[in-house]
């Protein structure tokens, strides 16, 4: 069984400030890791994914995340946020042994609120 | 490419009724997964269909059933609706054996009164 913990339910930040959204996971098997973003009344859009290789992953909209196997973490970062980054962010894992089409297990989400 | 499409966008039902939600996958994808997202929560995996068969299932009762058609589109059926079924239902498509992520549709908002 797998689980994902997003410790911060809400993260307020001023525009142009850096931000980090935390994600920790638990799994008995190797995993793939994902960050999705959800804007109001919309579906989920992939920000970035870690499948293998370099532990620092760069995604869209200037976001990046670092996979830390020893700490079972996959924190999301952005050096300078914009008002348009205000959204709900979800961390997710899947079983790498059954491929990227395998079911996703999501965290409860972190609401990023960017203000002027 | 239209991406993943879902219908209807919104739906209102009363307790005890049955509902059918529809999903068309992204072009080139052969696998459809369904997720339930309650208000303020992360999506929860319901089940996945591949080659017209249920491939994986999450912790949902038998009231939740599905189907996949030869053109890879899919339906989610929920019987005997109760208030707790009110949620956003998301469909995601992917390709078995590929390394694409799962692409999500915009969802169907179901309200049970």
Residue B24 is part of a domain; what is its CATH number?
A: 2.60.40.10
Q: Are A22 and A71 in contact (CB under 8 A)?
A: no
Residue A108: closest C-alpha in chain B: B42
pLDDT band at A100 (very low <50, low <70, confident <90, very high): low
| Of A2, A9, A44, nearest in space to B89 by CA | A44
Contacts of B97 in chain A (CB under 8 A): 99, 101
Q: B2 is written with which tokens?
A: 């239209």
As for how many domains chain B has, the answer is: 1
Interface contact B44, partner A, CB < 8 A? yes
Answer yes or no: do A101 and B31 touch at CB < 8 A.
yes
pLDDT at A95: 86
Give residue A96's region: left, alpha or beta (phi > 0; psi -120 to 50).
Answer: alpha
Q: What is the model's pLDDT at position B99?
A: 67
Q: Outline where DSSP puts E strands in A8-85.
A: 10-14, 19-21, 24-26, 31-38, 44-50, 56-58, 64-68, 73-78
Whole-angstrom distance, CA of residue B106 vs CA of residue B86: 16
Give the CATH fold of the A3-115 domain: Immunoglobulin-like (2.60.40)
**Domain range list for chain A:** 3-115
Cα within 13 Å of Cα(B4), Cβ side: 29
Statement: residue A103 has pLDDT above 80: yes
Domain of B75 in residue numbering reads as: 5-112
When the pLDDT of each residue in chain B is averaged and rounded to a whole number, the result is: 93
Tell me the pLDDT tens digit for each residue of A23-37: 999 998 889 999 999
């Amino acid at each position: 069984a797998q689980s994902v913990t997003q410790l911060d339910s809400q993260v307020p930040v001023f525009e142009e400030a850096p931000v980090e959204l935390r994600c920790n996971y638990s799994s008995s098997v190797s995993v793939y890791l994902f960050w999705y973003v959800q804007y109001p009344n919309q579906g989920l859009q992939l920000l970035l994914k870690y499948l293998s290789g370099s532990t620092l992953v760069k995604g869209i909209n200037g976001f990046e995340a670092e996979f830390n196997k020893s700490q079972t973490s996959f924190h999301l970062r952005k050096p300078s946020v914009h008002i348009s980054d205000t959204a709900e962010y979800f961390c997710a894992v899947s079983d790498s042994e059954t491929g990227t089409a395998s079911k996703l297990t999501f965290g409860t989400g972190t609401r990023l609120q960017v203000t002027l | 490419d239209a991406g993943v499409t879902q219908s209807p966008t919104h739906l209102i039902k009363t307790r005890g009724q049955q509902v059918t939600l529809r999903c068309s996958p992204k072009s080139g994808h052969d696998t459809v997964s369904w997720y339930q997202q309650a208000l303020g929560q992360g999506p929860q995996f319901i089940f996945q269909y591949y080659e017209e068969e249920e491939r994986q299932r999450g912790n949902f009762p038998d009231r939740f059933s599905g189907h996949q058609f030869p053109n890879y589109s899919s339906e989610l059926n929920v019987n005997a609706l109760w208030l707790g079924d009110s949620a956003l239902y998301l469909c995601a498509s992917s390709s078995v054996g590929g390394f694409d992520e799962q692409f999500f549709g915009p969802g169907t908002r179901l309200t049970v009164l």
